[in-house]
Amino acid sequence: NAGVTQTPKFQVLKTGQSMTLQCAQDMNHNSMYWYRQDPGMGLRLIYYSASEGTTDKGEVPNGYNVSRLNKREFSLRLESAAPSQTSVYFCASSKDRLGSGANVLTFGAGSRLTVL
């Protein structure tokens, strides 16, 4: 019962390099999310996918792209990494949109990215 799996757990990039963070969930959830966590700022939403085939921008989408590959997988791509993108990235999923009720986010373990 893996839940939400993110890879890689750690990555060091040079400015201008590109990379993709992978996320997969095995809970048959419809909605998936990418957050970043920075010291003193809590978690902020980068992109989300309410259902397979749809993606939308969150609070801080600049510099990122996403792909909802299928119901299970949601990837986050940095096309040209910048030091400001040094952060811990969390993928999360929920059964449905965060509408009424306790539609809870289940998080992955996080990916620590450093851009030099």
Partner 1 sequence: AQKITQTQPGMFVQEKEAVTLDCTYDTSDQSYGLFWYKQPSSGEMIFLIYQGSYDEQNATEGRYSLNFQKARKSANLVISASQLGDSAMYFCAMREVYQTGANNLFFGTGTRLTVIP
Question: Is the omega angle on the peptide bond into residue 8 within 30 degrees of 0, that is, cis?
Answer: yes
Q: Which is nearer to partner 1, 41 or 116 (CB)?
A: 41
Do the Cβ atoms of 11 and 110 come closer than 8 Å? Answer: no
Which residues, numbered 37-96, are part of the site for partner 1 (CB under 8 A)? 40-45, 48, 50, 56, 58-59, 88, 90, 92
Round to whole Å and give the CA distance between 93 and 88: 17
Give the nearest distance from C-beta 110 to partner 1 in angstroms.
5
Residues 6+ apart with CB under 8 A from 102: none
Question: Is 27 an interacting residue with respect to partner 1 (CB under 8 A)?
Answer: no
Give the nearest distance from C-beta 102 to partner 1 in angstroms.
4
Q: Which is nearer to partner 1, 19 or 43 (CB)?
A: 43
